Structure 1
Amino acid sequence: MPSDSTLYHKRLLVVDDHPVNVELLQDLLEDHGYRQVAGLTDPREVLAHCQAQVPDLLLLDIRMPHMDGYAVLEALQQAFAMEAPPTIVLTAQVDDDTRRQALAMGVRDFLTKPFDHEEVLARIHNALRDQSHYQWRRDQAAMLERLVAQRTRELERLSCTDPVTNLPNRRGLTATLGEWQRDGVVVGALFIVLQGIDAIMRYHGHRMTEVLLSEMARRLKAALPDQGVVGIWGSHELLLIQPRASMAELEHLATRVRGELKRPLATSGVRLQIDGRIGVAGGVSLEPERLVHMAALAVPHAREGVAIQVHSPALEASEQRRMQLRQALPQAVQRGETSLHYQAKVALASGRTCGAEVLVRWTHPALGRVSPAEFIPMAEASGDILALGAWVLEAALATLSRWRREGLVDEAFSLAVNVSAHQLCRPGFVAEVHEALARYDVPPSALEVEVTESAVMTDLEVATLQLQQLADLGVSIAIDDFGTGHSSLAYLRRMPVDTIKIDRSFLTHLLDDAQSHRLVESVVAMAHGLDCRVVAEGIEAPAQAASLAAMGCEMGQGFWFARPQPVESFLPLLEEYR
């Protein structure tokens, strides 16, 4: 906070058509220590003077020839808008009309002629002090905004980059593919499965493996044509994406890439060598996941004796199954093929089950169990997610109501229900939730709505309004898969978020990579800074749970605690953890 001593170095401008008044105020102020007091007797010169150097305080007469004080104020407001200098009016008449008009134009105070010297000094000191404090707070806020923006950019960069190789990770690659797809660019993909990494890690350790991966990253980047991108897709998988390439060019590139993979690396007296199998696919306007899926399908099995294979119509058999599922999906609920599974959410500090996430499952009569990763995107694309989501909400609340009546869960137990962008942005959704809660006599605090970042960004304004209305009911709001979508403090600050769920991808290298550990710590600290609880998804080891608890992460879920369970298997688990 600035001290009062700095006020005497502020720039003051006195404007009065009577030179004697200007000299009087200049002498008074300079006698009391003010170092920069300028004066003007012609109001027409004020704008140019301020444009050359904006004063920290303007002492302005109202009644002047050529331009009165109101005209001067209007000119300054047009030129500077919110940056116009604060103003104290000098006037011999402080009638109600003058006061109201001046205040409406943003005037801070009034000095009545003839001047009382002590009053003049006090009012000027107060105005300068208030303006100085306001400017200081404004500067602090701007600095904080810059720091937040810088940190957000860094988090975004880290979330898109593999910490070992500095290559794009799955999220970064998907984002690039999405941009090319939206631009209508022909894109090719090489899905590369590395062979021999496990043996190197087993016999030479993680450090040597990281040296090898970093060198492979350098080689492959050097071998890429213009605009090509190579990145890490999985622990043993690379993805190379190349725009504007023919299938023949992609096959030639795959041969070059395999040659680079097979070239031995000598380091620390050790000769390391790996190999790879490569699937090739390409097309235009393909969804990123579709293109990657095509390339992954084309990766030859090790027993086939070939290293490179191009996606072909024969591989489209899987798409026939997809079509069959798409046709069956709209009637799946009515036919009783869907069911709910529950995955426990555990308080990391106590190990107590404090809630569960509701997950929908589908068992097709002919094709058997269908992965949610397969049918949820289908439902979202077709609009069937609305009916499916409504059924999930009804069934979950009916179950929770029964558990509460039978004393199987306590008052603090809550169920989290995933809500898609289609549901969240649909008019009437909040009313449906409210009615369902009332119908099953479930308090709003026992329900948590989980939405992904991408769902919120589908229509940020509508989503924020709907979430606020849910929060007003007492329903908790959670951001799911945080860090995999539009991670931004700007939108988080606008929404009534209670919980941030850290995506499982952030936990992959939590224990073996310091940068990943710091990234998760930063997310936890950021969430707490927004007064949000934190749930970590995908906990698969006790050491992960302990590390997260030490960071202050409140809750976790994952296979270490329990897999998603049908209701009959979940209740014994509840009793065990209670």
Structure 2
Amino acid sequence: MLMTLPLDCLFLPTGTVLFSEGDPGDHAYLIQSGAIDILVEREGQEIVLARRGTGEIIGEMALLDHGTRSATARVSAPTEVIAITKRQLDQRISETDPVLRMCLGVVIERYRETLKMVRPDAVAPPPTTVRSLPGPAFDAAVAVLALEREIERGLLRAEFELFLQPIVALRDRRLAGFEALIRWNHPVRGLLAPAAFIPVAESSGLVVQITDRMLREAVSAVRVLLAARGAGEGCADEPLFVSVNVSGHDLVQPGFADGVMQILAEAALPPHHLKLEVTESMLMKDPARAGSILDTCRRHGMGIAVDDFGTGYSSLSHLSTLPITTLKIDRCFVQAMLGDPTSRKIVNTIRLLARELAIPIVAEGIEREAEAAALDAIGCEYGQGYLFGRPMPVTEAIVFLRAMPVPRIQALRAYA
């Protein structure tokens, strides 16, 4: 019985042919339970080569060497498998050691050569099933694979939503802009924060598609916010910005800067309304490459913010060479500074450094008036946190904006 395969977890009855010898390879399969026979047909006779069981992968060869199926896979007992796409497998292989990738290629080539010599009168080994207990590592791998597929489907179904969190000038609490934050409106689990899916999106490379979606929605949101502010009483024409987080995966994409400029051009939005946020640790992975791409973005007029500053390492030597327009102090220092002298000294040191470099600061995670007052007292220009506003949908951000005073032009010039 040959079946058309869905994309996720498959429950296969005995006799199901998962794929046949000579078929093109589109998926590999991770066996969660049951047993699958691997067989070939020679001169009208079936030869069973092996029986694969729980914790094993089948069908990977055609994906790894871009060839056809070298054997047939048929279910010999009720079986549950997880489908693995070529993209998922390629992503994992690309991150392995080059020597290991070479070894995999040699093993596949030798296996295919061996299959050519199989004869009907050959004595086939008895089918065996691996009886190993997969354990926590296996369960974790299955969970990651499943979440990757859910993210892919969520992107196709537009389940990811833009939320905006206000950034204000600490001196007078006037609105300066917003940070774009992502939420996943999961059909089963409800509204999910980034921590529930961004690590897997990063490791799988799917974060590139998420960033593209967020850039487009953030740019569109700025247009809506500018129109809303223009209609509000007492509103002026000073720039309003939105900052969008980008990852290391984004910055290695060919033409990333040109792609962002195209998004801005399509929306007819001047680049100074957009700021790109990059983490300190991500910049340190490849400062030269990141600096080159961010230089291009900066020359086009975009702002560049370093997020979570103070949590990375060896970054001071790059502050003078990277086109940074803003430092964002991590919330862990902000929320501890009132009770921890060391954290307060770190915040003050970062402020002094930023002042020498003429780079304004945004303090993240402000939840108490005392924190805001202390940060203002040491000269921190901008703040972000629950004290000023939680992340909110664009419709709520419009209401929030109309209720806020407009930002001072001198503050916005310093921030641009």
Superimposed CA distance per residue, residues 45-86 of structure 1 (whole angstroms, 9 cap, x where no aligned partner) = xxxxxxxxxxxxxxxxxxxxxxxxxxxxxxxxxxxxxxxxxx
Could you tell me how far apart the structure 1 residues matched to 2:388 and 2:332 are?
Answer: 18
Superposed displacement of residue 386, structure 1: 1.0
Could you tell me how far apart the structure 2 residues matched to 1:428 and 1:344 are?
Answer: 30
- Match in the other structure for 1:68: none
Please tell me whether residue 337 in structure 1 is matched to residue 159 in structure 2. yes
Q: Which amino acid aligns with 1:514?
A: P
Could you tell me how far apart the structure 1 residues matched to 2:154 and 2:273 are?
Answer: 28
TM-aligned CA distance change 1:315 to 1:384, over 3 Å:
closer
Superposed displacement of residue 541, structure 1: 0.3
8 A contact 1:467–1:496 mirrored in 2: yes
Identity percentage of aligned residues: 39
Aligned residues: 267
8 A contact 1:453–1:487 mirrored in 2: no
Could you tell me how far apart the structure 1 residues matched to 2:137 and 2:200 are?
Answer: 20
Could you tell me how far apart the structure 1 residues matched to 2:264 and 2:325 are?
Answer: 19
Please tell me whether residue 508 in structure 1 is matched to residue 330 in structure 2. no
Could you tell me how far apart the structure 2 residues matched to 1:430 and 1:359 are?
Answer: 20
Superposed displacement of residue 425, structure 1: 2.3
TM-aligned CA distance change 1:479 to 1:469, over 3 Å:
same
- Match in the other structure for 1:353: 175
Structural RMSD (CA): 2.0
Superposed displacement of residue 487, structure 1: 4.7
Q: Secondary structure at the match of 2:254?
A: coil
Superposed displacement of residue 576, structure 1: 2.1
Q: Which amino acid aligns with 2:334?
A: L
Q: Which amino acid aligns with 2:355?
A: H
Q: Which amino acid aligns with 1:425?
A: V
Superposed displacement of residue 518, structure 1: 1.5
Q: Secondary structure at the match of 1:411?
A: coil
Superposed displacement of residue 370, structure 1: 2.5
Counterpart among 284, 297, 303 of residue 476 in structure 1: 303
- Match in the other structure for 2:270: 443
8 A contact 2:225–2:398 mirrored in 1: no
Pairing of 1:276-291 with structure 2 (within 5 A) = none
Q: Secondary structure at the match of 2:155?
A: coil
Could you tell me how far apart the structure 2 residues matched to 1:373 and 1:487 are?
Answer: 26
TM-score when normalising by structure 1:
0.44
Q: Which amino acid aligns with 1:459?
A: D
Q: Which amino acid aligns with 2:284?
A: M
Q: Secondary structure at the match of 1:527?
A: helix
Please tell me whether residue 379 in structure 1 is matched to residue 201 in structure 2. yes
- Match in the other structure for 1:490: 317
Could you tell me how far apart the structure 2 residues matched to 1:560 and 1:336 are?
Answer: 30
- Match in the other structure for 2:258: 431
Superposed displacement of residue 371, structure 1: 2.6
Could you tell me how far apart the structure 1 residues matched to 2:361 and 2:155 are?
Answer: 33
Could you tell me how far apart the structure 2 residues matched to 1:352 and 1:504 are?
Answer: 21
Q: Secondary structure at the match of 1:449?
A: strand
- Match in the other structure for 1:455: 282
Counterpart among 294, 317, 327 of residue 149 in structure 2: 327
Q: Secondary structure at the match of 1:369?
A: strand
Superimposed CA distance per residue, residues 90-144 of structure 1 (whole angstroms, 9 cap, x where no aligned partner) = xxxxxxxxxxxxxxxxxxxxxxxxxxxxxxxxxxxxxxxxxxxxxxxxxxxxxxx
Kindly indicate which of the two structures has a greater share of residues assigned to helix: 1
User: Which of structures 1 and 2 has the larger relative contact order (alpha carbons within 8 angstroms, sep 6+)?
Assistant: 2
Q: Which amino acid aligns with 1:465?
A: S
- Match in the other structure for 2:345: 518
8 A contact 1:445–1:475 mirrored in 2: yes
Q: Which amino acid aligns with 1:561?
A: F
- Match in the other structure for 2:192: 370
Structure 2 stretches lacking a partner, 5+ long: 1-133, 406-416
TM-score when normalising by structure 2:
0.61
Q: Secondary structure at the match of 1:345?
A: strand
